[in-house]
Amino acid sequence: DAKTTQPNSMESNEEEPVHLPCNHSTISGTDYIHWYRQLPSQGPEYVIHGLTSNVNNRMASLAIAEDRKSSTLILHRATLRDAAVYYCILRSGGGADGLTFGKGTHLIIQP
Amino acid sequence: DTEVTQTPKHLVMGMTNKKSLKCEQHMGHRAMYWYKQKAKKPPELMFVYSYEKLSINESVPSRFSPECPNSSLLNLHLHALQPEDSALYLCASSQDPHTYNEQFFGPGTRLTVL
């Protein structure tokens, strides 16, 4: 599986936007970019995914670079509840392949 | 109902015990997964079931034995575990094994092996 690189941790203030970067320079043409997050003492939860175009949903936006070698998860207005570990994951193939988690980014939100 | 439930929440067992972890979903999902997560580490895939059949075993030791009795239920049978097997065991499900569906995770079972 292609590898992703994320900063170990990031800090942001409540009610401000947060941009979480992910590098995936060896991404292949069929790899989808998925983001999950894991709040303290909970299982991971799906955030968003995309292939080439930018994507928006109720939780976040995903901005994908034109060459697809990097992407950014955008939380438009962070709350204390968004403090979590955010994982950027590449998924290829069409089967039930499971998720290969990297180390993720620990997002700290200051009140 | 978009929930994956796992029982028990906590389990303490000795190295000679036999115990089972249970996972249930009623979303009609046909793929189910077991992950293991050690403290301060990311989850690691253990097993994948696709249409109730084991499709991926990530070289997991035989002291962990998965079972999928029906499309809603996934068990993980534990026998002769070691203290280093202490971890959070996460179950997940997804709708269709052949597409990029999101995975829904349960809250996990925190296992301690003495």
- Provide the pLDDT confidence category of residue A94 given band limits of 50, 70 and 90: low
Of A43, A91, A102, the CB nearest to B108: A43
A99 φ/ψ angles, rounded to the nearest 5 degrees: -110, 135
Mean pLDDT of chain A: 93
Residues facing residue B65 across a β-bridge: B77
Instruction: Kindly state the average pLDDT of the residues A59-86.
Output: 96
| Cα A68 to the center of its chain, rounded Å | 14
How many CB pairs (< 8 A) connect A and B? Answer: 65
Residue A1 has pLDDT above 60, yes or no: no
pLDDT, residue A38, reads: 98
Provide the shortest C-alpha distance from residue A49 to chain B (in Å): 9
Cβ atoms of A21 and A6 within 8 Å: the answer is yes
pLDDT, residue B109, reads: 98
